[in-house]
A and B are shown apart, each in its own frame.
Chain A
């Protein structure tokens, strides 16, 4: 290698940093998400926001810190964790309903693998606009954080903890909206759910009961419950295609992004507007009360029969299968919990 090439290499090494480029000996602990059997190998992690331990730690503090949005009207403040609670797979939880313009939050899980569309209405089609963008918009959304982003940034800068954490993550103590969104995105991308009973079944570590297995077969067959084209299965363990679709469970005929069914037992009530309280209700609807609206997804193959017509026994099996998608490790993982109460 010539001197020129070597110098170039050294220079380019210096310029690659966690977040934005700086020319110091800044050397954060980069890591990649561990490869998980059956999960996608591609993520939405952008080259300018690689995961690093320091960035994730900063993001975790910010995620749980209500002080960043405290005002005289709301001295208790707001944080992401107000609407995204770990016990509810980072959805809001049935005892803490948080509607924003008529819609409930979405759980935050396996978002690193969603390369298609964020939000109930989908901000974009393939490839999605970035998670960083989505979080920046969240911080700027007066329905979620009732103060301008520069006040949020000023609040963060005034908390003694943060300048050092920003320096560790980004190389300098500058506190900007861009860095704040990047750090939050890093933390959110580490929220991976990979230990449900179904995951363990896939990896050959556990068996499904007869009832769960029958439910699984129903879930993945057209003449059964016909859920898999939209909600996944063995070949799509994210349990969503993240496409927009009309599922015909009400007459509105408006497409919504297909939500993941992972941790579905923890994310009641159901649908974007929370109109169903229980999984039984949801299953009854798909079985017998589908409206064949003009724009119903063609993947609702039995819409013209009013639904997939399941027997009581089949409904019970289908529910048993849906419960195998719960990941207790995810909702109790100490790495995802509130760092202020450790």
Chain B
């Protein structure tokens, strides 16, 4: 009996202690936090991409000149060594429009402070997943200008790479192209069928968020990868416009996996 009573007392003392401990953690005015931002860059074969005049050879041997690149990044999540998932932004703000023409869009600063710790992965969606990709979600430019036509399933372009291409032997790139990705459309027996092409990107990168820190990670798009891995891209086959070409949309979806890299 006494033994049981003692255990009872012990338990009570223990739980009181636990409560105090928990309280201390919960009431601490600020759990350790850090600011964080993402920077967006573009490379071609590892070198900073020069938009405008400069032309580049792609895997097929064809050449391209890139005028501008615009795309959506969404649902960014940092995953720590214990598997804990920390959203970069609250759900309703966890989407960002990147445009090579808009300097201010090339940095995305989280409006939250993020818990300090050791992180192992960064996850994000290139484009917009089905839940986000609804027409009129963006009312204002520049995001609204990315709308994807209703007849092709609505929502928004995930990405536009605009530029010019030329055959292997040509020195100048004169034929306009738009590598525009979004919901795919296929003609089925019962009319058109739409499919999502958004891709979840997971990049392993060990980094630390330290107290009162201001961490910058870089999300780089290696443009050459759109054209080679796993599928080789041929402008001579797909032409300059691909929104209504389900095969081209699938090729770009598959190739997206190797395009992005998150770096410190």
Contact = CB atoms under 8 A, between A and B. Distances in A.
A and B physically associate: yes
Contact of B176 (A40, A236, A241, A301): A301
Contacts of A233: 147, 149-150
A300 B163 CA distance: 10
Interface stretch (A1-9, A46-54, A129-137, A219-227): A219-227
A223 B135 contact: no
Given A222-B243, A292-B174, A298 B163 contact: yes
Contact of A221 (B142, B147, B152, B163): B152
B176 A300 contact: yes
B3 interface: no
A296 B145 CA distance: 20
Contacts of A304: 174-176, 240
B150 A220 contact: yes
A165 to B, nearest CB: 34
B178 A220 contact: no
A235 B176 contact: no
B134 to A, nearest CB: 11
Contacts of B239: 301
A298 B176 contact: yes
A235 B147 contact: yes
Interface in A27-66: 38-42
Interface string B239-263: 1111110000000000000000000
Nearest to A116: B141
A303 B261 CA distance: 34
B136 interface: yes
A16 to B, nearest CB: 25
B232 to A, nearest CB: 22
A193 interface: no
Contact of B177 (A126, A229, A241, A298): A298
A302 B242 CA distance: 12
Nearest to A301: B241
B144 A235 contact: yes
Nearest to B164: A298
A226 B149 CA distance: 11
Given A221-B149, A298-B162, A301-B241, A42 B178 contact: no
Given A221-B149, A221-B243, A234-B150, A301 B178 contact: yes
Contact of A234 (B140, B147, B174, B242): B147
A15 interface: no
Contact of B145 (A38, A220, A241, A298): A241
A260 interface: no
Judged by DSSP, the binding face of A is loop
Interface in B144-201: 144-152, 154, 156, 162-164, 174-178, 180
A217 B102 CA distance: 30
B212 to A, nearest CB: 31
A115 interface: yes
A228 interface: yes
B240 A41 contact: no
B139 A221 contact: no
Contacts of A38: 136, 139
Nearest to A40: B140
B162 A42 contact: no
A296 B147 contact: no
B67 interface: yes
A311 to B, nearest CB: 17
A81 interface: no
A299 B147 contact: no
Interface in B224-242: 239-242
A292 B180 CA distance: 21
A301 B149 contact: no
Interface string A108-119: 000000011000
Contacts of A221: 149, 151-152, 243-244
Given A41-B140, A235-B144, A299-B176, A220 B151 contact: yes
Contacts of B147: 233-236
A234 B145 CA distance: 10
B163 to A, nearest CB: 5
Nearest to A297: B176
Nearest to B151: A217
B205 to A, nearest CB: 33
Contacts of B241: 222-223, 226, 301-302
A108 B87 CA distance: 45
B140 A235 contact: no
Name, among B140, B142, B144, B242, the residue most crowded by chain A CB atoms within 10 Å (CB to CB): B144
Contact of A299 (B142, B174, B178): B178
18 contacts: A220-B150, A220-B151, A221-B152, A222-B178, A222-B243, A229-B178, A233-B150, A234-B150, A235-B146, A235-B147, A292-B175, A294-B174, A297-B176, A298-B67, A298-B163, A298-B164, A298-B177, A301-B241
The 8 nearest A-B residue pairs measured at CB: A235-B147, A220-B149, A222-B241, A301-B241, A298-B162, A298-B176, A304-B175, A301-B240
Given A115-B141, A228-B149, A300-B176, 5 more contacts: A42-B139, A298-B176, A298-B177, A301-B177, A304-B240
